[in-house]
Each structure stands twice: as structure tokens, then as C-alpha cells.
Structure 1
Amino acid sequence: CDDAFIKAIVLQLRPQVLLGGDAAFKENEQGTEMYFIMRGEMRMTDSTLSVVYNTLYSGAYFGELAMLTGQPRTATALATTDCVLFYINQQDFESIAKQWPKAFS
């Protein structure tokens, strides 16, 4: 990827801190953000929290599917530890995508 493209993404990231047990989002909510885990552990679960689809750690990202497709969230994103996340919203992401169309082809 082009350094300018990566810089454009990074400049739009916003921090979010979650405590263990907090949800970044819940299943079936409208998704307008994509998240990056800087520190901590997140579990992707069903709405009842009884089925764990995936566990994600520092360096992972999540939430992109709903943000890119406009479909509702397919899982609940639950912090299992205190977490430091960064997120980008759909509007900022789409603006960057228009500036760097080759990055998405």
C-alpha cells in the first residue's frame, strides 16, 4: 500500500477505550465503524453471548463487513479484557477510498 494512503487512514482513526464486559457493538445494529485492536481481547459472539464465533487480539480488526456492505452487524463485539481500540467511520473511509481507488480494486 501507498504510504500516503496508510497515513490518510491513520489520521482519521479515533480512540475508544472499553472495559472488560463492554460491547463495541451488538448483533443486528447498523454498522458504521470499523475497529482496530491496539490492546486487549475482543470476542465476537451471538446476541445471547452464549456462542463465541471468534476471539481477536492486539493487531486484529473487526466490524468491516457491516461498514462496507451496509448490512446489520452479524455478531456482538464484546471486550473480554480492558481494551484500547481505534475506529474509523464509514464516511471517512469512503472519502479515503475515493482518493485511492486502486487500493480497493
Structure 2
Amino acid sequence: METLKEFFRVYNVPHGMALRVRQNVEHIWIMQQGLDVDALLSDLPENLRVDVLMELQSNIVQNSYLFKKCDKAFIKAVMLRLKPQAYLSNEAIISSGEAASEIYFIRSGKVKVTGANRETVFAILKEGDIFGDLEIFSGRRRTENVDVRVEPLASSRGATR
């Protein structure tokens, strides 16, 4: 936290943005119980690192409809690309019109999928759901907005292309 404070001071980060960054870092810290999993596993041989990640995240990727018929080697490659991300209440995860570069797997919390005007609610997604996959596979820009619902904080693991 001291490093963050120094970063905010040196780069003159506006107070509102600094608060959002701090809350996000605190949420990740709580989610990971103070452990940086990526750093801990980075020195392991790739096959062992993948096996550990498969065990830790088996409910997120392996049980997803998207990967039901994929072979294990492909799933392992996806596991290596996952990055944990945390989003605070009312924060936008995806905005309509953006280029698609990630698929999101919801680990906890709920997100709201809305139309371009953010008024029409198409769906409420929860733990175990995924989103962002249609645009990845079609090559289209995002057509909907996805925001964190007010109640809980949401966390996901985004897989980049």
C-alpha cells in the first residue's frame, strides 16, 4: 500500500482514480488471501504450473460449455492465459463498441448485461457464467455493456486471445 501511495503521489493520480485502484488492490488481496499465485507458481516447470492451475480453476474452465468438447491440451493452454481481475460495484467491465480481446469467467459476484444505452437489461450473470465469447469468435466489436451489479463485488478470470 505504501508503494501505491508513492505511485499516486509521484504521478499525481487524481483522488477518485487512486481510490478505485486502492479498492481494487484490496479486493484482489482479500480474494487471493494475500498470496500472489502467479508469482508463487512462476518458477515451477510449465507442466506442474498447469496442473496446479487446473486444480485451482477446474470449476471455471473445465466445466464451461465453451470447453466441454475441447481436448485437455487446449484447456491447459487456456489456463496459462487466465489472469485474475476484480471489479468494484457499478464498474464497467465491457463497454459497447470496444474491440473484443478477452473472454470472462465469473468466479464470484454478479454482472448485468445491458444494451448500448445501458437501460435495457438483457441478463444477470453469476458465478460459473461466462461472457465476451461471442465477439471473440465472430471478430465483431462489443455490442453490449457488462457492468458489476451493486450488491456484491465480482471477480473473474479473463482469458486473452
TM-score, normalised to structure 1, is 0.79
Contact 2:116 2:143 in 1 (8 A): no
Return the letter of the residue paired with 1:20. S
Where does 1:3-18 land on structure 2 (aligned, <5 Å)?
Answer: 3-18=72-87
CA distance in 2, matches of 1:7, 1:29: 28
Please tell me the root mean square deviation across aligned C-alpha atoms, in Å. 1.2
Map of 2:153 onto structure 1? 82
CA deviation string 1:40-92 (max 9, x = no partner): 101110132210011110001000111122211110011103111101112xx
Count of matched residue pairs: 90
**Structure with larger RCO (C-alpha < 8 A, sep 6+):** 1
Q: Work out whether residues 85 and 158 of structure 2, in 8 Å CA contact, stay in contact via their aligned partners in 1.
A: yes
User: For residue 128 of structure 2, what is the aligned residue in structure 1?
Assistant: 59
The alignment's TM-score, normalised by the length of structure 2, stands at 0.53
Question: Following superposition, which runs of at least 4 residues in structure 1 exceed 4 angstroms of deviation?
Answer: none
Post-superposition offset of 1:2: 2.6
Query: Percent identical across equivalent pairs?
Result: 32
Which is richer in helix? Answer: 2
Q: Which runs of 5+ in 1 are unaligned?
A: 91-105
Q: Do structure 1's residue 49 and structure 2's residue 122 form an aligned pair?
A: no
Q: Which runs of 5+ in 2 are unaligned?
A: 1-69
